[in-house]
Amino acid sequence: MITTNQLYYQDNQLREFEAHVVSIEPSERGFRVILDQTAFFPEGGGQPADRGTLSGIEVLDVQIESDHIVHYLKQKPSGNTVTGILDWDHRFHSMQQHTGQHIISAAFWAENRSKTASVHLGKAYTTIEFETESMTRAEMRAGERLANRIIGQNLPVSVLYPSADELKNMTLRRPTNKTEHVRLVLIGEVDCVACGGVHCSRTGEVGLVKVIAHEKIRGNTRLIFKIGGDAYADYDLKNQIMSELRTELNVQDQHLLERVQQLEHSLVESTRSLHVLEQKLARNMAEYIYAGREQDHELPFDWVVFFFEQEEERLIKEIAKELLKREQVACCLINRYTDHYTWTLTESERVSIPFVELRERLFERTRAKGGGRAPMWQGIGPDPHQAEVFGQTIRQLLQEYCPR
């Protein structure tokens, strides 16, 4: 039994209170403060702890420990009494989420016989996991519509502490094993469940609930909701996006999806055409580069080195692949940028570059780095002015490690 007087149960709208200090102890988090009474709800039942201040000092956390409600503060409060002020925006958000969750769970049980398995009341959204392998969009919409009807009816949210005998004759949405000191939260005549959380006074305070996503988890179905102020903020954001898309694409709402699908199809076709053109360009560039190679009589294969200026890396890789189609050729393609360069080293069939053996000396001389495996290695160099040095160094090392 909690010995701290729980003011949040007596008045869920209480925002400021006075209390006597029972004890103050230092802790790793600052100071551990116990009061004779508090309006700060401690974390529990999925509902986050309240925020606010005690005599102007920020309340970092509120927890139930043994028989007491403990407030964690950065600083030690002075005096024997304190004034507590709740962060009401945070508290009201928590109440909207928790009451909204009860309404949703009741609605989905009534509409689809979907039983709530677990709940997470988050800062940005609330998730509810239902004990059903799948749920159709029609079932989701039906549950959501009923939940919003319950909100619109502005039903009273009340609390009841039944006796053990009374509890036996009551129908709870989620059964409880407790028989004494059971706190029931009732929403009109549509929901009754054991709960220790702080709730809105009437369902109308929740405002709105909206399913925004769903997923399968552990053989169940998890729905993701925006509730209360979060739902209105989500609607505002999406309405703004829709408005900008209407202007950008010059279409009405009912034609927006069709227009996006047309653009997507056009993009796929353009990407396919671009890929074909890139392959043709890569083949032509490979022909040009190979034709302009210098003869190196100290190597047992054709050696090609070529420098690009801020070229697309994807194109360079395609050129390298085209060069590999030739027999007994190795090439080094170097792409210079304003503050670095990239390098690509490749070998065709019947060529075996001992890259592992020469890598350490190559990187030591050029300060470059990279890796890979045959037939292609890639990397980066820190100084674009040293790009030619990299090309010369790799050639010298190949002459040493791969003599004719």
Q: What does the pLDDT read at residue 45?
A: 85
**CA-based nearest residue to 38, from 60, 58, 53, 57:** 53
The pair of structure tokens assigned to 189 is: 């005549």
Domain 281-401 matching CATH 3.10.310.40: the answer reads yes
Sorting pLDDT into bands at 50, 70 and 90, what band is 22?
very high
| Residue 201 pLDDT exceeds 80 | yes
C-alpha 253/C-alpha 77 separation (Å) is 57
Q: What contacts 24+ positions apart, CB below 8 Å, involve 362-365? A: 362/393, 362/394, 362/397, 365/389, 365/393
pLDDT at 1: 74
| H or E element that contains 145 | helix 137-152
pLDDT higher than 90, residue 404: no
Same fold yes or no, 5-86 and 92-236: no
Q: What is the pLDDT of residues 353-364, one digit of tens each?
A: 999 899 999 999
CATH code reported for the domain at 5-86: 2.40.30.130
Residue 5 half-sphere exposure, CB side, CA atoms within 13 Å? 12
Torsion-angle region of 154 (φ positive above 0: left; ψ -120 to 50: alpha; else: beta): left
Question: For every residue of 182-219, which 3-state class applies, written as one string?
Answer: CCEEEECCCEEEECCCCCCCEHHHHCCEEEEEEEEECC
Q: How far apart are CA 353 and CA 162, in angstroms?
A: 83
Give me the residue spans of the domains in the chain: 5-86, 92-236, 281-401
Q: Positive or negative CA dihedral for 329, 335, 336, 342?
A: negative
Closest CA to 69 of 35, 24, 22: 35
Check: pTM over 0.85? Answer yes or no: no
Overall fold of domain 92-236: Threonyl-tRNA Synthetase; Chain A, domain 2 (3.30.980)
pLDDT of residue 226: 97
pLDDT band (50, 70, 90) for residue 303: very high
Closest CA to 1 of 66, 62, 71: 66
Q: How far apart are the first and last CA of the chain?
A: 89
pLDDT of residue 390: 96
pLDDT tens-digit profile of 212-242? 999 999 999 999 999 999 999 999 999 999 9
The sign one gets for the Cα dihedral 332, 333, 339, 340 is: negative
